[in-house]
Amino acid sequence: MLRQFATSNYGGIEVEDRLATVAPNLFSCCRVDTDRTCSVEAGEDMARRLPRAEFVVFENSGHMFFVEEQEHYLSTLGHFLATQL
Does the residue 51 lie in any domain? yes
Domains contained in the chain, number: 1
pLDDT at 14 over 90: no
Does the residue 69 lie in any domain? no
Q: What is the pLDDT of residues 64-80, one digit of tens each?
A: 889 989 999 999 999 99
Does the residue 85 lie in any domain? no
Spell out a b/e string for 16-38, using b for 16 or more CB atoms within 10 Å of the CB, else e: eeebeeeeebbbbbbeebeeeee
Does the residue 25 lie in any domain? yes
Does the residue 29 lie in any domain? yes
Q: What is the pLDDT of residues 32-59, one digit of tens each?
A: 766 666 788 888 888 888 878 899 999 8
Query: Euclidean distance between the first and final Cα of the chain, in Å?
Result: 40
